[in-house]
Amino acid sequence: MQSIHKQTLARIRGNGRGRAFSSKDFLDLGDRNSVDKALSRLCAQGIIRRVATGIYDFPRKDEELGGKLSPDIHQVAQAIARKNGVRIQPSGALAANLLGLSMQVPAQVVYLTNGKSRTVDIANRTLIFKRVEPREMRPGSDIGILVTQALRHMGQNQIDKNVVDYLHRQLSDSDRKKLLKDARYMEDWIWKVVRRITSKQEQQGK
């Protein structure tokens, strides 16, 4: 049987570069102390890096830019949420940026959460978790929440055919199926936009 160190490394590599994680993501492999030692050893070897207290990533690389890239802030936020056992959802401005609907990088990276409000400094950016009432946490799939938050942020009058066509191209067949399934959670106007995004006829100009 492989050591905890080798199993941990294999999973990290299997998940690919850019993924962020904590020891909690590996507790099925062994006890907390053994996992912590494995992660510390991998960090000392330069294979992974510590990006926040108890949070690591398998850094992306770009040799032309001189090596390791900055941490993926969305991956880090998700890792923190898993570590603390809470739910998070991107704010509208962040959702629009993550989907590529807005090139403006939010000055503050804000996530709504059912956990405690807190801020975490990651590289040169500040990650903000803002506690909201449970009813403000939207139900549905991750992609459904992301699209809904982005569309609501943009506003009904800003959604034109270019936005619809762009999202249709960007989303996979699986994503579009999840959007349709999440219809019951959406406001009427957002559902009408989603129906256009997922419609083949719309994309064929019919």
Question: Could you report the per-residue pLDDT of 148-164, keeping only the tens digit for each?
Answer: 999 999 999 999 999 99
Residue 81 included in any domain: no
Residue 68 included in any domain: no
Is there a single domain that holds both residue 181 and residue 106?
A: yes
Q: Which residue has the tokens 């032309």?
A: 64
Residue 107 included in any domain: yes
Please tell me whether residue 16 adopts helix, strand or coil conformation.
coil
Q: Give me the phi and psi of 165, to 5 degrees please.
A: -65, -40
Whole-number Å distance between alpha carbons of 203 and 73: 32
Domain range for 175 is 86-203
DSSP output for 129-190:
EEE--GGGS--S-HHHHHHHHHHHHH-GGG--HHHHHHHHHHS-HHHHHHHHHGGGGS-HHH
CATH of the domain at 48: 1.10.10.10
Is there a single domain that holds both residue 44 and residue 116?
A: no
CA-based torsion, 151, 191, 134, 24: positive or negative: negative
Mean pLDDT score, 121-131? 90
- Residue 200: pLDDT band (50, 70, 90) is low
Is there a single domain that holds both residue 109 and residue 177?
A: yes
What confidence tens digit (pLDDT) does each residue in 1-30 have? Answer: 579 999 999 999 999 999 999 999 999 999
Please tell me whether residue 7 adopts helix, strand or coil conformation.
helix
Q: What is the pLDDT of residue 206?
A: 44
Per-residue pLDDT for 64 more than 90? Answer: no
Q: What is the pLDDT of residue 1?
A: 57
Mean pLDDT score, 159-178? 94
